[in-house]
Amino acid sequence: MSLLLTGSIGLDDVKTPQAEQHDLLGGSASYAAVAASFFTPVNLVGIVGEDFPKKFLDLYRKHGVNLDGLEIATGKTFRWSGEYESNMNNRRTLSIALNVFEKFNPTLPAQYRSAPFVFLANISPQIQMHVLSQVTKPKFVVADTMDLWIDIAKDALLELLTKIDCLILNESEARELMKDASLIKAGRALLKLGPKFVCIKKGEHGCLLFGKDLFFSAPAFPLEDIHDPTGAGDCFAGAFTGYLAKTGKVNADTLRKAVIYGSVIASFNVENFSLTRLQTLTPAEIESRYQSFRQMSHFELH
């Protein structure tokens, strides 16, 4: 089943302790769309400025991403720059310019409105809600968010939580939103705010999935070298939702597999800057790492 996906699309400047790269393809929707495209067709909703390089439109097309819902507006593309500390976990945002996103008020193409699966990648909860309100009868809606929206748009975010099926967020965001240091308590408390499932990402320590009758803890793939962690969370969420859309079913079994596929794609993405690694990623590599995940966490009963 196809996936409707919205979020930021931008040009990033990224600095790590080892290297610095500029004018990279970035944005939550870019990472999520390419990650999801390994599993299911993606209908993208977003906005870029006239300065957005054609090579990046070609990159989306190469992954079969439908661009009927992509607006090319007068003005400049969203820009973000960030710098990582030596542990590659802590990141400082150096600058952010919403640019064309300040006036983003999309009208969904008619053929997008019947989408069964929806992923609202990180962008303001108001835009996420506006897009969702145009989908006629979604079967499963997943949303991501970030600390910025918890700080400046908490009411809109809380309203969004009543309209979605699954929330994906980082451990620090879960603690901040629920004002609880315990991730277990925060995850369970988040379920009471609306979503049926909550996925808390713990970076290099994996993630936790909560549901009413479900708890699943998955490790992250143990990589020796991380070149650029940017977009790992977006890739996780895009592949997670893309896999569910591919199966068309949401149950404990498909959700667990979706978490592992999300972790697999995220682990490949951090091996290089921007979306470079996913350009050469093959289905065989995905399956091989999925099997490694299985072996890595498997143990006998006795």
Instruction: Out of 123, 135, 226, 258, name the contact with ligand AMP by CB under 6 A.
Output: 123
Stretch that binds ligand AMP, among 24-32, 155-163, 247-255, 286-294 (CB under 6 A): 24-32
Stretch that binds ligand AMP, among 5-13, 215-223, 250-258, 278-286 (CB under 6 A): 5-13
Cα–Cα distances (Å) from 259 to 103, 128, 133, 168, 233, in that order, read 34, 22, 27, 11, 12
Q: Amino acid identity of 286?
A: I
Which positions from 148 through 177 interact with ligand AMP, judged by CB under 6 A? Answer: 148
Closest CA to 45 of 98, 96, 104, 1: 104
By the rule CB under 6 A, 8 interacts with ligand AMP: yes
Does residue 59 contact residue 25 with C-beta atoms inside 8 Å?
yes
Using CB under 6 A as the binding rule, whether residue 12 contacts ligand AMP is answered as yes
SS3 192: coil
Sign of CA dihedral 69, 135, 166, 174: positive
148 or 184: CB nearest ligand AMP: 148
49 binds ligand AMP (CB under 6 A): no
**How many residues are there in the chain?**
302
Burial of 22 from C-beta contacts in 10 A (0-12 / 13-18 / 19+): exposed
| Least distance CB 19 / ligand AMP (angstroms) | 16
Least Å distance, CB 35 to ligand AMP, is 11
**Given candidates 231, 238, 242, 262, which one binds ligand AMP under the rule CB under 6 A?**
231
Among 2, 16, 27, 267, binds ligand AMP (CB under 6 A): 27
Does the footprint of ligand AMP cover residue 73 (CB under 6 A)? no
Minimum CB distance to ligand AMP smaller for 121 or for 141: 121
3-state class of 62 per DSSP?
helix
Contact (Cβ atoms closer than 8 angstroms) between residue 155 and residue 161: no
Determine which residue in the list 2, 6, 16, 28 makes contact with ligand AMP, applying CB under 6 A: 28
Total residues interacting with ligand AMP, rule: CB under 6 A: 16
Distances from the Cα of 276 to the Cαs of 13, 90, 281, in angstroms? 14, 22, 9
Q: Which is nearer to ligand AMP, 79 or 289 (CB)?
A: 79
Alpha-carbon torsion 251, 126, 48, 273, what sign?
negative
Q: Give the footprint of ligand AMP on this chain (CB under 6 A).
A: 8, 10, 12, 26-28, 80, 96, 122-123, 148, 230-234
